[in-house]
């Protein structure tokens, strides 16, 4: 097939945009494993900087993972039931509640962090522990879990299925565990990936909430950008990419598989 | 038919509600009150107009955010439309690459701009080779502009591609068969159809740019965007009331922008910048 000239023009434009986004990431990855970035690649390949990052900053990586896991657990226990309730209640009430839950995403993290510090900064033990950061992360990620689960639930026929189970005498908790949760699974999975990714990368809140003893990965990154040589900062960024890219790919694959939903029964109850 | 069991739904939503009240609504209310406890009381909310430093930072942030939004919309519409219209080998990969920086925190994006346009950056290296002079953009308004563009493009492209996929190609064919030129098709058929998506993603882009902290923090420019001003007031000047009132104003601006986006499109993908 012959392509018109404008096709190549647009292709070139799109490639330039793509290069703008990707070239710095590649540069960063290369700088992290290059002996001397100013001399260039010919100065040789090395793991020196990665090892140095590990020695200096491994604790920030552990703390970030710890906070992300706890954040996910809390999200599962409070976010999924909340999403189910909202899907059940429906209508204007549910929309208003959803609107309120989304507020922490709409308001800059800096403002929320400031509010938390002014309100709870006086509780010293709480202030200096990592649970102070966790609180911020839960506020910031909960909207994503709730909306993800809510979107899947409202697009499925869980109400009919739940009624079927109820008519067969299943008590509420059975219905919730064996009917609602399996139906909400794609939403829970997508929401969980989102929660982990956002928590591991969160900076705006965390920078205000952290203490010298509770540094997370992005806080460490900011620290290395300000005070370390370019190669160390790049190696650290590379470590971050290695953690975050698999999560991103998993999210894209999940989104793709959900684009062809296999529905057994269409939801007629909703209309 | 299961009756609507409101007490049960209430119980299930209670943990989330309690956490939100304790750690969000109450502290935010307190923040709003603290914002009114400065030397001038409630009038300290006017400092954004009356204190020149605050006013300048506000104007700079709004102008920067509008500029970034405009550029992000134009760039993403061209690239997004192209990718929706044309399927070719590698087009899926291009989409993945374009949306890849979605989960980068603002600090990392700042570092990307340093590598691209900083003192030892790529642009500087190329310009040094070509014209014997290092072009350094990263630490000026241009650096912020590039950084904000960097985190905006992936988000805007996703929204625009989603609305472009819903476009009916028959409309365009009809316009063409009636003699419309390519330009007329774009202006009279495609852009009006994309309008809700454009407004929604523009609002998201504007709100994210207004509240972006990490990128500005890493680039450490001497241009004070509003989040940096708030940060400086709080940490260096210990002006807690001032920081609180500016935060509330900033929060209201971004919230209203995103409310507009949601009312037009039904979903927002805002994240930290």
Tokens of B155: 């988000």
How far is it, in rounded angstroms, from Cα B17 to Cα A93? 14
What spatial distance separates the first Cα and last Cα of chain A, rounded to whole Å? 46
How far is it, in rounded angstroms, from Cα A47 to Cα A230? 14
Q: Give one DSSP letter per residue of B206-248, joined into a string.
A: HHHHHH--HHHHHHT-SS--HHHHHHHHHHTS--HHHHHHHHH
Residue A126 — very low, low, confident or very high, per pLDDT cuts 50/70/90? very high
Angle between helices B122-131 and B106-117 in degrees, nearest 10: 10
* Contact A234/B at CB under 8 A: yes
**To which CATH superfamily is domain A57-258 assigned?**
MetI-like (1.10.3720.10)
How far is it, in rounded angstroms, from Cα A240 to Cα A197? 11
What is the assigned CATH class of domain B50-84+102-265? Answer: mainly alpha
Q: What is the mean pLDDT of residues B250-273?
A: 73
A119 with B26: Cβ contact below 8 A? yes
By CA distance, what is B245's nearest residue in A? A111
Residue B163 — very low, low, confident or very high, per pLDDT cuts 50/70/90? confident
How far is it, in rounded angstroms, from Cα B245 to Cα B242? 5
A29/A43: higher pLDDT: A29
Whole-number pLDDT of residue A144: 93
Tokens of A118: 């002014």
Q: What is the mean pLDDT of residues B221-250?
A: 89
List, in sequence order, every residue forming a beta bridge with A45; answer none if it has no partner: A34
Tokens of A112: 């929320």
The values of phi and psi at residue A45, to 5°, are: -95, 140
Give the contacts of B219 (CB within 8 A, at least 6 positions apart).
B110, B113, B114, B138, B139, B143, B144, B147
Contact residues on chain B for A116, CB-CB shorter than 8 A:
23, 27
What's the pLDDT tens digit per position in A5-42? 888 999 999 999 999 999 999 999 999 898 888 777 77
What's the pLDDT tens digit per position in B63-116? 999 999 999 999 999 999 999 988 888 888 899 888 888 889 999 999 999 999
B contact residues 100-119, partner A, Cβ 8 Å cutoff: 100-108, 110-116
What's the pLDDT tens digit per position in B123-147? 888 888 888 888 888 888 899 999 9
Tokens of B80: 């997004």
Contact residues on chain A for B8, CB-CB shorter than 8 A:
172
**Would you kindly state where each structural domain of chain B is located, as residue ranges?**
50-84+102-265
Q: Classify residue A84 as left (phi > 0), alpha (psi -120 to 50) or beta.
A: alpha
Question: What are the E-state strand segments in A167-265?
Answer: none
* Contact B135/A at CB under 8 A: no
CA separation (Å) from A107 to A115, A144, A205, B57, B258? 11, 14, 11, 18, 9
Model's pTM, two decimal places? 0.89
Contact residues on chain A for B240, CB-CB shorter than 8 A:
118
Q: By C-alpha distance, which of A156, A127, A84 is closest to B5?
A: A84
By CA distance, what is B253's nearest residue in A? A107
List, in sequence order, every residue forming a beta bridge with A34; answer none if it has no partner: A45
* Contact B128/A at CB under 8 A: no
Q: What is the mean pLDDT of residues A64-81?
A: 96
Residue A129 — very low, low, confident or very high, per pLDDT cuts 50/70/90? very high
A contact residues 30-49, partner B, Cβ 8 Å cutoff: 31, 37-38
Residue B205 reports pLDDT greater than 50: yes
Residue A1 — very low, low, confident or very high, per pLDDT cuts 50/70/90? low
How far is it, in rounded angstroms, from Cα B106 to Cα B212? 7
Angle, CA B212 vertex, CA B140 and CA B105 arms, to 5°:
100
Contact residues on chain B for A73, CB-CB shorter than 8 A:
none
- For chain B, how big is the Rg over CA atoms in Å? 23
* Contact B161/A at CB under 8 A: no
DSSP SS3 for A249: helix
A contact residues 50-79, partner B, Cβ 8 Å cutoff: 77-79
B153, B227, B258 member nearest A106 (Cβ): B258
Residue A87 reports pLDDT greater than 80: yes
ipTM (interface pTM) = 0.87
B contact residues 35-74, partner A, Cβ 8 Å cutoff: none
How far is it, in rounded angstroms, from Cα B40 to Cα A206? 31
């Amino acid at each position: 097939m012959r392509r018109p000239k404008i096709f190549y023009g647009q292709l070139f434009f799109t490639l330039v945009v793509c290069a703008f986004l990707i070239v710095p990431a590649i540069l960063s990855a290369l700088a992290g494993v290059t002996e001397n970035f100013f001399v260039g690649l010919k100065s040789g390949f090395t793991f020196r900087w990665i090892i140095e990052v590990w020695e200096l900053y491994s604790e920030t990586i552990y703390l970030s993972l710890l906070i992300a896991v706890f954040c996910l657990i809390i999200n599962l226990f409070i976010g999924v039931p909340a999403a189910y309730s909202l899907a059940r209640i429906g209508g204007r009430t549910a929309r208003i509640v959803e609107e309120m839950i989304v507020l922490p995403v709409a308001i800059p993290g800096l403002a929320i962090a400031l509010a938390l510090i002014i309100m709870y900064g006086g509780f010293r033990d709480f202030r200096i522990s990592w649970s102070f950061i966790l609180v911020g992360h839960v506020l910031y990620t909960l909207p994503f879990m709730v909306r993800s689960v809510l979107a899947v639930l409202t697009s499925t026929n869980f109400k009919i299925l739940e009624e079927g189970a109820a008519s067969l005498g299943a008590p509420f908790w059975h219905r919730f565990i064996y009917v609602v949760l399996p139906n909400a699974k794609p939403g829970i999975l997508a929401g969980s990936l989102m929660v982990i990714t956002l928590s591991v990368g969160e900076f705006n809140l965390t920078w205000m909430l952290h203490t010298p003893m509770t540094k997370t990965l992005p806080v460490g990154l900011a620290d290395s950008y300000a005070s370390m040589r370019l190669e160390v900062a790049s190696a650290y960024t590379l470590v971050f990419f290695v953690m975050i890219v698999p999560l991103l790919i998993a999210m894209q694959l999940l989104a793709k598989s959900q684009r062809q939903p296999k529905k057994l029964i269409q939801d007629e109850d909703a209309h | 038919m299961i009756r609507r069991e409101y007490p049960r739904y209430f119980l299930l939503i209670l943990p989330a509600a309690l956490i939100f009240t304790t750690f969000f609504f109450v502290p935010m209310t307190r923040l709003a009150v603290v914002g009114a406890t400065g030397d001038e009381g409630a009038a300290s909310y006017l400092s954004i107009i009356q204190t020149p430093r605050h006013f300048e930072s506000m104007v700079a942030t709004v102008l920067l955010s509008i500029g970034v939004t405009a550029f992000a919309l134009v760039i993403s519409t061209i690239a997004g439309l192209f990718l929706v219209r044309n399927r070719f080998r590698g087009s899926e990969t291009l989409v993945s690459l374009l949306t890849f920086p979605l989960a980068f925190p603002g600090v990392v994006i700042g570092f990307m701009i340093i590598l691209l346009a900083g003192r030892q950056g790529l642009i500087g290296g190329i310009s040094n080779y070509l014209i014997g002079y290092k072009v350094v953009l990263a630490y000026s308004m241009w650096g912020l502009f590039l950084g904000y563009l960097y985190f905006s493009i992936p988000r805007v492209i996703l929204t625009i591609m989603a609305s472009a996929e819903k476009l009916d190609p028959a409309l365009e064919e009809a316009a063409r068969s009636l003699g419309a030129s390519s330009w007329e098709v774009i202006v009279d058929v495609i852009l009006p159809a994309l309008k809700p998506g454009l407004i929604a993603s523009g609002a998201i882009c504007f709100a994210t740019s207004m509240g972006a902290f990490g990128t500005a923090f890493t680039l450490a420019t001497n241009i004070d965007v509003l989040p940096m001003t708030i940060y400086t007031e709080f940490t260096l000047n210990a002006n807690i009331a001032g920081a609180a009132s500016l935060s509330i104003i900033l929060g209201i601006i971004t919230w209203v922008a995103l409310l507009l986006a949601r009312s037009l499109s039904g979903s927002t993908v805002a994240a930290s910048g």
